[in-house]
Amino acid sequence: MSLYDTIQDEGKDKGRKETLIKLLRNRFSKTLPEDIEAKIEKADEDGIDTLINSFSDIVTLDDVRDVLEE
């Protein structure tokens, strides 16, 4: 993988995380708990995919925590 591809992948990953944070803020409140934002920032691609795929099933902030801990 070239440096360009690596940078592009990192940008996509960051954008997906930012989008998830915005969606969760809209669903629950203007401010998310710090632990959830930190877990999203640290999540790998599979973790983000799992959260995206589970988004419609998430009802509480504890649901978000559970998905991120899988």
Q: What is the dihedral of CA 2, 3, 6, 12, to 10 degrees?
A: -120
User: Looking at the 3D structure of the chain, how many domains does it have?
Assistant: 1
Maximum average pLDDT range among 1-5, 29-33, 50-54: 50-54
Which residues constitute the domain of residue 58? 3-69
pLDDT grade for 55, boundaries at 50, 70 and 90: very high
Kindly report the average pLDDT of the chain as a whole number: 91
Rounded to the nearest 5°, which phi and psi values hold at 44?
A: -85, 180
- In this prediction, residue 26 carries a pLDDT of 94
pLDDT at 18 over 90: yes
